[in-house]
Amino acid sequence: MGTRSTHGGLGVLRDLIGLSPTEPTSSTWSAHRATGSDELLLGLVGQAESPRFLLPLAHRSATVAALLTYNRLRDPRTRLSRTAVAGALRIGASSRIISQTYVADQGPGSLIAHLAEVVGTPDLSVAIGIGNFDAVWKPTLQCFSPDGTPVAYAKVGVGPVAAPLVSNEAETLRLWGAADDPRLVTPTLLARTVWRDHPVAVTAPMPSDVARMPVGEVSAWPVRDLDPSATTAPLDGATWWNDRVAAHGDHPVVGRLLDTVSRQHGSESHQWARWHGDWVPWNMARSSRGLVVWDWEYSEPGAPVGLDEAHSRYQVSRVQRRRSVARALDDVRVVATHPWLADAHLIALVTRHLDLENLAGGPVGDHDEVLAAATLRCHDRS
């Protein structure tokens, strides 16, 4: 994706928060605090060619909090690693952990100053994960007060791909905030703002007791209660279906897939309701308040009921078990309650890829494998 891929996450942050490297510092904490009032000092964990995350260094409590807050969400190996890093920083062994120090702009007009004003914390510290950089990466600034108290998360829509996703997530969280009796714990939307044409969704911290989900599938039925009750309609009576026909009916592969599925299932009635869009274990947690779910950027009303569970099976197979696209789609078909649902999931997957690619100006992710799977389904169903 052009300069985005070439420069990676650090390049995006250079433009977004004025990130620039500093001269090497000593291992003492006092050296880490020697920075001007208009600059925020950050330390890079990982090497520049394979960065993991940026830590705030001006306040020791915020540095440690950036590593340990919500550590119960992480897998045991990552949890142990972060605890060890925090311990090393506590005793001043920063030179063994921080590969490079950077300064970020926190002066008037900067993004960090804007967020400090939004959340009402003048001396804001931020941590930023960058190890998962990809074509749809959206910088998320985890914001802390100087004493290490979590203040907010700020997700920034940088570029034509991320911007509509962040805007959609903010709107979905607004709907959740207005819901009379939500069955899920969702991030509270503190502000929906814009900085230099970038949409920004600022949310409250998660419950302090969030913990990693146990192994097993989770029903997405509460999501379907956000909007008015589910509707029942044939394909040509559903906005979700008609939108995809209008947008991709002329595509040589997807158009044929839509026609094939329409012949198979067009005369049947189906249920339609809100879906999360990325219902996976790493986007949810358990807490004393109930199931906590975040990352609502792909959420839509009026989707096929059961699509979240189908996509969850696909993502777990593809991402966690590292199976091929074809094998992951086969896993979906094994558990699908109706052949229509497996076909609907394939349509959702391939049209999402095309939508993202239209915004990005080039192929994204598993482009070739997903289109090959769509082509194969056309042959299978002809």
**Which pLDDT score is estimated for 2?**
35
Mean pLDDT score of the chain, rounded to an integer? 90
CB burial string 182-221: b at 16+ within 10 A, e below:
bebbbbebbbbbebeebbbbbbebbbeebebbeeeebebe
**Region of poorest pLDDT, from 72-76, 99-103, 205-209, 349-353:** 72-76
Higher-confidence residue of 34 and 81: namely 81
Whole-angstrom Cα Rg for the chain: 22
Could you count the other beta carbons within 10 Å of the beta carbon of residue 64?
A: 19
The 3 state secondary structure assigned to 38-64 is CEEEEEEEEECCEEEEEEECCCHHHHH
* Spatial distance between the Cα atoms of 349 and 134, rounded to a whole number of angstroms: 17
In the chain, the percentage of residues whose pLDDT exceeds 70 is: 93
* Tokens read off for 77: 């190996």
Residues 6+ apart with CB under 8 A from 76: none
Residue 44: band (very low, low, confident or very high) from pLDDT cuts 50, 70, 90: very high
**Which pLDDT score is estimated for 46?**
87
In the sheet with 140-144, reading across from the earlier edge strand, the strands are 20-21, 98-105, 39-47, 50-56, 125-129, 140-144, 150-156, 198-203, 189-195
Give tens-digit pLDDT for 242-253: 999 999 999 999
Residue 76: band (very low, low, confident or very high) from pLDDT cuts 50, 70, 90: confident
Q: Of the segments 30-39, 81-90, 319-328, which one has the largest average pLDDT value?
A: 319-328
Report domain extents, the chain: 3-203, 221-381
Read off the DSSP letter of residue 229: P
Q: In this structure, which CATH number among 1.20.120, 3.90.1200, 2.60.40, 3.30.1360 belongs to the domain 221-381?
A: 3.90.1200
**Which pLDDT score is estimated for 26?**
46
- What integer is the mean pLDDT of 198-209? 96
**Which pLDDT score is estimated for 25?**
53
φ, ψ for residue 129 (rounded to 5)? -80, 135
- What integer is the mean pLDDT of 54-58? 93
The answer to whether the pTM exceeds 0.75 is: yes
